Chains A and B, each alone.
Chain A
Amino acid sequence: MSNVPADLRFLKSHEWARLEADGTITIGISDHAQQALGDLVFVEAPEPGRHVNAGEACAVVESVKAASDVYSPVSGEVVAGNADLGGQPELINTDPYGAGWIMRVRPDDKAQFASMLDARAYAAALAAETH
């Protein structure tokens, strides 16, 4: 069973997001997503300063099995990409909600974050997907 932390928001496409104290949003892929992809071998995170739109593919995670786009759940400016993933893409496998974060975005409109799935809704979506 995959881990779905109660304090995060999710997209059906398996991204997670956390609202930080400074108003930025940290984004990664869920435990379910990393399990499905298998061992990560490359991660391409966006450059800081880039403006992304909600629903836009802005990072790529590539595993031994497949490449997959990571969609931004919110519109805003990228303030950081996780540089550690360049040398250690496996951080996404070992700690998808912690050291395996992918990017941080300063949202144009916080309402987009609020409209994401909560943990219960995401867990229900996962259950529906596997049955």
Chain B
Amino acid sequence: MGLRTPLFDTHVAAGARTVDFGGWDMPVNYGSQIEEHHAVRRDAGMFDVSHMCVVDLRGDRVRDYLRHLLANDVSKLTQPGKALYSCMLRDHGGVIDDLIVYYMNDHWYRMVVNAGTRDKDVEWLRQVAADYGVTVEPRTELAMIAVQGPNARAKAASVMPPEIAQRALEIGPFFGIDAGSLFVARTGYTGEDGFEIMLPAEHAVALWQGLRVAGVAPCGLGARDTLRLEAGMNLYGNDMDETTSPLESGLNWTIAWEPQDRDFIGRGALAAQKASGDTRKLVGLLVEDRAVLRSHQKVIVAAVGEGEVTSGTFSPTLQRSIGFARVPAKTGDRCEVEIRGKLVAARVVRPPFVRHGKVAIAL
């Protein structure tokens, strides 16, 4: 038996099929993964993401700490509540984890890290924190529910206490507010608008049931994966890990090179890799044939070399197979993928594939 979130019994009672995900027993779907996917693109769906770990970082030098720890630069965060996506790197440039960090005030930042990497993340956070007098507090008593879709914010607000609902509806994209009994952030992992709501575990079931009554569809990790892939978002462990750098993972945009004197962990290795120019890159793939991309399939780029599919699926919105692949830097706009013993043609495209319910690439 794996770890269970406070909502586990609720999922089982709702007919969820569960799978192991990073040591947690999580719902993969409640019937049809494709219907759950469409619910998020067209209306509102919710995900139990309580397996992810909230970590509070506090101290007088917490900003300096994070500027050293993260490849992105928290000094971009000037308004309280603003969030930043970043990788946390080893010295050699490999990705320990990808995360979101919220600037709450000058002495408090809140971070959300992946479930499967929680233990090594916390260990690393503490190791680096020692030099900065920063306390690292995993908030394992918090549950988290992501409500996503064009109608998600309105439906979620309808079940919040009125004074919190009003504040929640006013927050801008990629901001979070600490509203006492709820922490509400306008973030997500689907390419749709919505909230991620953190709350004490003992209140999670009541919020989930309230959201159901408000017409929010329960969605499993299956739909979460097809939604994030369509949205062009990486999954840690599939698309990047400690053996790959952000430069090889489509995450160049998350590296803050300026100011040049900011000494973040992994900077030297990334700069050397960038200077060599011979890096692999992560690209989006679109398959026109009736075949589905899956992780670890071999990619062949004529006259250039080989690569590998890192994530692949059938896109319910596009009705085609899409995926990400790590390929040689010189790869152009075409490649072939070895799928079940056959070579299948694929187009190289720039993710996202879908954004805010609309197809974002040429089909």
Contacts and interface: CB of A to CB of B under 8 A. Distances in A.
Interface residues of B, number: 16
A64 interface: yes
B291 interface: yes
Contacts of B292: 41-42, 62, 67
A38 B28 contact: yes
Interface range on chain A: under 10, 10 to 19, 20 to 34, or 35 or more? 10 to 19
Interface in B249-299: 290-292, 294
Contacts of A44: 290
B222 A65 contact: yes
A36 to B, nearest CB: 8
A60 to B, nearest CB: 7
Contacts of A93: 32
A64 B291 CA distance: 11
Contacts of B29: 38
Given A38-B29, A38-B222, A41-B314, A64 B294 contact: no
Interface in B1-47: 17, 28-29, 32-34
Contacts of B340: 60, 67
A64 B17 contact: no
Interface in B316-358: 316, 340
A39 interface: yes
Given A39-B32, A41-B314, A93-B32, A64 B222 contact: yes
- Chain B, interface SS category: mixed
Contacts of A60: 340
A35 interface: yes
Contacts of A62: 291-292, 314
A42 B290 contact: yes
Contacts of B33: 38-39, 64-65
Interface of A: 35, 38-39, 41-42, 44, 60, 62, 64-67, 93
26 contacts: A35-B17, A38-B29, A38-B32, A38-B33, A38-B222, A39-B33, A39-B34, A41-B292, A42-B290, A42-B291, A42-B314, A44-B290, A60-B340, A62-B291, A62-B292, A62-B314, A64-B33, A64-B34, A64-B222, A64-B226, A64-B313, A64-B314, A64-B316, A65-B33, A65-B222, A93-B32
| 6 cross-chain pairs, A with B, having the tightest CB-CB distances, nearest first | A41-B314, A39-B34, A42-B290, A64-B33, A39-B33, A38-B33
Given A42-B290, A64-B226, 6 more contacts: A38-B28, A38-B33, A42-B292, A62-B291, A62-B314, A67-B294
